[in-house]
Structure 1
Amino acid sequence: MDDDKFTKEVSCLMRVKHKNVVRFLGYCADAQGKMLDYEGQKVIADERQRLLCFEYLPEGSLDNYINDASCQLKWRTCYKIIKEICEGLSYLHQQNIVHLDLKPANILLDHHMVPKITDFGISKCFDEKQTRAITKNLCGSMGYMAPESFDGVITFKSDIYSLGIIIIEMLTGQKRYDEIDNVSILFQEKG
């Protein structure tokens, strides 16, 4: 990641403060000179390392609760988690941030099962009046990407599509559930 991208990501994370978004604590950047081979010759080059530090969330990811039948969440807990993910995502969108990789593995839970959106590695910070971007790079995780993402179109709707997939998985207790007609049956079984 070049300096401009790193600076932009850190400044983007610094302005995000919401109970349903993982708290950014700080960063560390270091550069050290190293002797490296380059086109058959030894050259001195700077090797940069950058680390981002976030709050620790002990209950792990939402993904664990969807995949593990023994950890299946009760309806009230599911509702609370879904509502709070929506609040966190709404806040990000109000800050002109498109997450682009919203999935259960990127939603961490604290001791009280409060969900916090994390992993802003590929997120996009839009300018104030910007509502879309076009990219040549495919962004996101398969199964959670909106169809328009495959054409390189990035909008806030991309995250809403991912949120819908997460809600279906939470209600059915199954990953990548194909038969939408049966979602209500599985949801009723959840009680």
Structure 2
Amino acid sequence: MDKTLLKEYSNYFKLQDNNNILKFYGVIRDDQYSISLVLEYATNGNLSSYLKTHTIGWCFKAKVCRDIALGLMHCHDNNVLHFDLKPENILLDKDLVPKLADFGISKTKSQMVLDNGKAGGTINYVAPERVSGDCKMREFFYKYVLS
């Protein structure tokens, strides 16, 4: 099994008891070399597409922000760092509940220490201090986030 898919499977499995994480149902083998994750169907697609086609009010925006924060808090409480949080990776179910998805480049806090704090991500959504390599931010990250 591909390492990225295995990590994604592992992280979905760890995070299943939260309403703001896309539900994981299992894996299927498509053929001898291909394995796919079976995940919850998000009827309303991703947040990016939804915002382009719908006008939404402040109450809905606040609810989405709160639910994303709750999902991230659940990830962090379970030692998982997403590293690719963007509107395309936030899916909306039939009730418009936002669900965090795509844990392909996620890492655990211990992996961050082993990788010297490096991780991928979509460049438009990566924190500026990560792109610039700001040493003070790295020290802050190690001291307060990973400890």
For normalisation by structure 2, the TM-score amounts to 0.77
Note if contact 2:44-2:50 (Cα within 8 Å) is conserved in structure 1.
no
Aligned to 1:55: 40
Helix, strand or coil for the counterpart of 1:51? strand
- Structure in which a larger fraction of residues adopt strand: 1
Aligned residues: 134
Q: Percent identity?
A: 37
Partner of 1:67: 52
* 2:140 is the counterpart of 1:141: no
Aligned 1:118-129 pairs, distance under 5 A: 118-127=101-110
CA distance in 2, matches of 1:5, 1:117: 17
Distance 2:45 2:76 in 1: 24
Tell me: CA distance 1:142–1:100, structure 2 relative to 1, closer, same or farther (3 Å): same
> For residue 12 of structure 2, what is the amino acid of its counterpart?
L
- The offset of 1:64, in angstroms, is 1.6
Q: What is the distance in 2 between the residues matched to 1:112 and 1:98?
A: 26
| Per-residue deviation, 1:99 | 0.5
What's 2:75 paired with? 92
Unaligned runs of 5+ in 1: 33-47, 157-191
Q: Relative to structure 1, is the Cα distance of residues 135 and 29 closer, same or farther in structure 2, using a 3 angstrom cutoff?
A: farther
Contact 1:139 1:149 in 2 (8 A): no
Report the residue type matching 1:143 in the other structure.
N
Q: Which residue of 2 aligns with 1:27?
A: 27
Structure 2 CA distance, aligned partners of 1:5 and 1:103?
19
- 1:75-114 correspondence runs (5 A): 75-114=58-97
Larger radius of gyration: 1
Q: Structure 2: which 5+ residue stretches go unaligned?
A: 143-147
CA RMSD in angstroms comes to: 2.7
Question: Secondary structure at 2:91's aligned position in 1?
Answer: strand
> Would you say the 8 A contact 2:4–2:105 is kept in 1?
no
Whose RCO is larger (CA < 8 A, sep 6+)?
A: 2
